[in-house]
Amino acid sequence: MDTSRLLRTTGTVIAAAGLLLSGCTAGGAAGPRDAATSSAASAAARVAAPPAAPPQIPAALRPYYEQKPVWRDCGVPGFQCATMKAPLDYAHPDAGQDVDIALARRPATGPGKRLGSLVVNPGGPGGSGIGYLQAYAGIGYPAAVRAQYDMVSFDPRGVDRSSPVECLSGPAMDTYTQVDQTPDDAAERTALVAAFKEFAAGCQSRSQRILPHVSTIDAARDLDLLRGVLGDEKLTYVGASYGTFLGATYADLFPGRVGRLVLDGAMDPSRSALDLNRDQTEGFETAFRSFAKDCAKQPDCPLGKGGPDAVATRLGAFFRQLDAKPVPSGDPQRPLGEALATTGVIAALYDESAWPQLREALATAMDGDGSGLLALADSYYEREPNGRYANLMSANAAVNCLDQPPAFSGPDAVDAALPSFRKASPVFGSGLAWASLNCTYWPVKATGAARPLTAKGAPPIVVVGTVRDPATPYKWAQSLARQLDSGVLMTYDGDGHTAYGRGSTCIDTAINTYLLQGKAPQNGKKCT
């Protein structure tokens, strides 16, 4: 299990497990990239947007802002793809070293006045924006929004189609995801540390060129480059989960270029890596207790009756059984042990619509068949049936480990923090504490640090928090809205990760009005 600070929308977490999530039936995987369709559509796609290179753009960067993307059909009906160049190192943009940033869009469908581009990001870090756009946002966002905006996304640098970070082979990732992250003795501690070191060394050997240049600040600069290449004077953007940190970073860097920004399922940039991981542990506990209350009411609850404490005790006991003796999963190389089972449960906590499947997966696992929980874990890690992994976990670690110094200096520091993590979550605390050790052995020193983001001078920025969000605790949204000079907080009193497009008419109406008319909701607005 390596779930530390993996922050993305529900549609990119468990769609591969066959769950129906808020009207979306597919997640992070995109279709074929370059297959041609109609010649008429291809011709229209090649009409480039006028470049936008404001006077304040440094001279060395102007050629990048003046790019004219060649849009082409890319195998998914209605969508077009292109590539833009970005400097590998923004501190030395004239060094002649570039990275390719993959782009995708779905042109505004009309009728009505076109409002420009709406850039969307699903989180991660490491989530494919192109996969998210093609599978959900480009077809699932409200029709009125899609009618007036070109829906646009990109794979951030280091992700999937954009100079991806690579670390381990598929078989090596299979081994890595099974490593025991609740070590009971010195040998298990040594094995866990060795696994983190092997992962980091794999990233260094396979991705040495890109590894120092995939921070969120780098991605935010790419986001402004994208704005310019699209021909938009201001950025209109919806970021979910980690995408809120990307959006807030952008606003702090370029407050004068902020248009309409929605930050849904917000991160708190002022929290240290240790605090973020501990807060997220508490968030998963909150979500689990909500699941436990519901499970105890269902006739098919495999964890029995009683309050959340009783349900949690039974789940903890089951995890310990799996730690001692994994059960078959249908894959002889990957029996269901504690690590994969915990990841499977965490995956299902992202969306309450997954609770019935989680009950079924737990029931079958307790009966000796771990295939259901393994499928949930595979969806979380974006593992394909052929054993190939998307680069989500590699990119996730690469970005997180650059953005902040590591949470822990070593195993002894984890030991000291274990009581606070177990207090935050008796079920998940130990595993998530040890998972927070992943950046300790990273080969590239962190270039960022925790700090408030104010975006002073920006127009209203809408920050959305869900009260029982498992991955981005509600208090993070409250904090980010306070930090931002023009932050406007909206609260969704519900379960699951993020709020927009997940069934709340109140949330959706307010955000649609903001995107289409520029009218921000009242600060403190609450929805159910």
Positions annotated as catalytic residues are 241, 469, 497
Q: How far is the C-alpha of 246 from the C-alpha of 329, rounded, in Å?
A: 37
Orientation angle between helical segments 170-178 and 338-348, nearest 10 degrees: 90
Q: How far is the C-alpha of 197 from the C-alpha of 235, rounded, in Å?
A: 39
Name which of 225, 271, 224, 227 is nearest 245 in CA terms. 271
CA 467 from chain centre, in angstroms, equals: 19
Residue corresponding to tokens 């994969």:
340
Q: Please state, in angstroms and as integers, the Cα–Cα distance from residue 232 to each residue in 67, 321, 341, 431, 495, following that order.
A: 13, 56, 46, 45, 35
Q: Please state, in angstroms and as integers, the Cα–Cα distance from residue 69 to each residue in 164, 225, 464, 522, following that order.
A: 20, 12, 33, 38
Q: Is 166 helix (H, G, I), strand (E, B) or coil?
A: coil
Q: Are 481 and 264 in contact (CB under 8 A)?
A: no
The length of the chain in residues reads 528
| Strand boundaries in 367-486, DSSP class E | 461-468
At 403, the amino acid letter reads D
Q: How far is the C-alpha of 44 from the C-alpha of 38, rounded, in Å?
A: 10
Q: Write out the DSSP string of 310-329.
A: HHHHHHHHHHHHHHHS-B--
Please give, one letter per residue, the 3-state secondary structure of 211-267: HHHCCHHHHHHHHHHHHHHHCCCCEEEEEECHHHHHHHHHHHHCHHHEEEEEEECCC
Name which of 467, 461, 477 is nearest 521 in CA terms. 461
